[in-house]
C-alpha cells in the first residue's frame, strides 16, 4: 500500500506526492496528496489488491465522467482515475471537516444548525438522484461537517457503493445500522440485493432521526436481534403517537412537527415506492426552518405546528402574545386565524375593514397585510412599510402601525 512521500501517477499523467495518511478501511486507504507541479492539495483513495480489478476501474471511470462535483459542491466524487504501478484508485477534492458522528459528539450545535446540516445533505442527494444515481452508503461516517463561522457546511464522501443504470453493480450493501428492509432480508436469504435509490431513501430517513433527535431509531432496542429488527423494520418505536420509550437519550420525537413526523413514518415503509422522495424531504425541511422554536422556560427546541400548545420537552404552556391598542385595550392572539381591521381597532376609515390576518402556529404568530393605506413596522426612528400579502413573524417588542393606528406587540405574563 501507499506510504508517505510516495509519488502516484494518475491516468492523465498528474503526479501526486503523498503528504499524509488519513485512514484505512475494508476497501482501501485514503491519503492527502499534493500535485507535484502545481502544489494543489487533493485526496486519493487506493484500493486493496482484491478490489483492484476491471470492475472497480469501470465504476471509477463512470463516476469521473459524471462530474458530480459540478452538480453540487457537497458531492465529493472521483475526478481522476489512478491505474499504474499495480495500484487502482482515484483522485478527489480534498475537503475539510470531520465525520458527522464525531462532529456531533465534540461540537455543541443548536437545533437550527442540525436542521441546516440535514437540509444540505438532502439538497446534495436530490441532485444526485436527479442523475439517476444512488449513493448506496448514506451514514454519518460519510458526511463530513465543519463550521463556517456559525454556519454548518457538509460534504458527502465515499461513493464506492453507488448504483446507476450505466455502471456495474456494487459488491457491498452498506452499513448494517442503515440497511433498508429489503436489503436486510436479502442478507438473511444469502441473496444480497445491491443498494438503489429506494434504499438511499431509507438510509437518509435513519440519519435524519439521528441528526434531529440525536439518537438512532433503534435506541434502547439494540439487543437481542429480534428487538433491533422490530425497531428497524416493523414500526417506528419512537413515534410521537406511541407511548414514549424511557431512557433513550436525545430529544423526544414529540419535538417534530406533524409534517416531518409523517416523513419519518413513511420513510420506514417496507415498500420502497412508499418512502418519501428526497425532494419531498427537502421541501418539508426547508419549511421547518421557519418553525424552529426554543422554549423560553426549558431552553430546549422543537418544530411547532398548530397542534402544539405546550412545550414537548417541559410540558409548560407556550407564552401568548397580544396587541396593545392606544387606549390600553388588548387583543389576545389565541386563535389559529384572526383578522384585524377597522372594527377590531375601533378606528376610522383610514383602516381597512380587513387590514391584516394573523395566523398562530404553536407559539409563533405571523401577520399578512392587506390594508389599502399600508401596514408599517417601526424600525428605530422610522417606519418600514410591510409588503402586502407577504407574511412576517411578530415578536414581543414590535410596534406596528395599521394605517394611522399604532399598536404594540407584548408577551402575556
378-387 pLDDT per residue, tens:
999 999 999 9
pLDDT of residue 248: 86
Return the closest-CA partner of residue 246 out of 273, 215, 206: 215
Distance CA 268, CA 263 (A): 9
Residue 86 — very low, low, confident or very high, per pLDDT cuts 50/70/90? confident
Residue 174 has pLDDT above 90, yes or no: no
- pLDDT at position 153: 96
Which residues lie across from 276 on neighbouring strands?
A: none
Please state the separation of Cα 188 from the chain's center in Å: 31
Residue 73: predicted pLDDT: 93
β-pairing, 28-35 with 7-9? Answer: unpaired
Single pTM value for the model: 0.90
Is residue 335 scored above 80 in pLDDT? Answer: no
Q: What is the pLDDT of residues 262-295, one digit of tens each?
A: 999 999 999 999 999 999 999 999 999 999 999 9
Q: Domains of the chain, with CATH numbers?
A: 7-93 (3.30.200.20), 98-303 (1.10.510.10), 321-411 (2.60.200.20)
Segment holding 377, helix H or strand E? strand 375-379
User: Residue 244 has what pLDDT?
Assistant: 87
pLDDT score of 214 more than 80: yes
Rg (CA), the chain: 27
Confirm if 246 and 187 have CB atoms less than 8 A apart: no
HSE, CB side, 13 Å, CA atoms: give it for residue 360. 18
Q: Among all chains, which residue has been given the C-alpha cell 400579502?
A: 389
Amino acid at each position: 500500500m501507499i506510504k508517505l512521500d510516495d509519488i502516484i501517477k494518475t491516468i492523465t499523467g498528474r503526479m501526486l506526492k503523498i503528504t499524509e495518511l488519513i485512514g484505512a478501511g475494508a476497501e482501501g486507504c485514503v491519503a492527502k496528496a499534493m500535485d507535484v507541479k502545481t502544489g494543489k492539495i487533493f485526496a486519493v483513495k487506493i484500493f486493496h489488491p482484491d478490489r483492484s480489478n476491471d470492475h472497480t476501474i469501470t465504476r471509477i471511470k463512470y463516476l469521473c465522467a459524471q462530474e458530480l462535483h459540478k452538480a453540487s459542491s457537497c458531492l465529493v466524487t472521483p475526478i481522476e482515475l489512478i491505474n499504474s504501478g499495480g495500484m487502482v484508485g482515484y483522485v478527489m477534492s480534498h475537503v475539510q471537516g470531520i465525520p458527522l458522528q464525531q462532529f456531533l459528539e465534540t461540537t455543541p450545535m443548536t437545533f437550527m444548525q442540525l436542521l441546516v446540516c440535514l437540509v444540505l445533505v438532502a439538497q446534495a442527494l436530490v441532485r444526485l438522484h436527479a442523475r439517476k444515481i444512488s449513493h448506496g452508503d448514506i451514514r454519518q461516517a460519510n458526511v463530513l461537517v465543519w463550521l463556517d463561522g456559525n454556519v454548518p457546511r457538509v460534504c458527502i464522501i465515499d461513493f464506492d457503493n453507488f448504483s446507476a443504470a450505466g455502471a456495474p453493480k456494487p459488491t457491498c450493501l452498506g452499513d448494517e445500522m442503515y440497511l433498508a428492509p429489503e436489503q436486510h432480508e436479502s442478507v438473511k436469504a444469502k441473496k444480497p440485493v445491491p443498494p438503489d435509490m429506494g434504499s438511499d431513501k431509507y438510509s437518509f430517513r435513519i440519519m435524519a432521526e439521528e441528526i434531529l433527535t440525536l439518537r438512532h431509531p433503534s435506541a434502547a432496542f439494540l439487543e437481542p436481534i429480534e428487538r433491533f429488527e422490530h425497531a428497524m423494520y416493523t414500526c417506528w418505536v419512537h413515534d410521537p403517537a406511541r407511548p414514549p420509550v424511557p431512557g433513550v437519550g436525545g430529544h423526544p420525537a414529540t419535538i417534530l412537527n406533524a409534517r416531518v413526523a409523517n416523513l419519518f413514518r413513511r420513510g420506514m415503509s417496507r415498500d420502497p415506492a412508499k418512502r418519501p422522495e428526497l425532494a419531498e424531504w427537502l421541501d418539508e425541511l426547508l419549511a421547518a426552518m421557519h418553525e424552529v422554536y426554543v422554549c423560553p422556560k426549558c431552553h430546549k427546541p422543537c418544530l411547532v405546528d398548530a397542534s402544539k400548545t405546550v412545550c414537548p420537552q417541559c410540558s409548560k404552556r407556550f407564552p401568548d402574545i397580544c396587541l396593545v391598542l392606544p387606549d390600553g385595550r388588548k387583543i389576545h392572539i389565541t386563535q389559529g386565524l384572526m383578522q384585524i381591521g377597522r372594527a377590531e381597532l375601533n378606528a376610522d376609515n383610514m383602516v381597512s375593514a380587513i387590514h391584516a390576518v394573523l395566523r398562530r402556529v404553536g407559539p409563533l404568530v405571523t401577520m399578512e397585510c392587506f390594508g389599502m393605506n399600508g401596514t408599517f413596522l417601526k424600525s428605530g426612528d422610522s417606519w418600514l412599510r410591510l409588503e402586502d400579502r407577504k407574511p412576517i413573524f411578530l415578536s414581543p417588542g414590535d410596534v406596528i402601525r395599521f394605517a394611522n393606528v399604532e399598536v404594540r406587540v407584548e408577551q402575556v405574563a
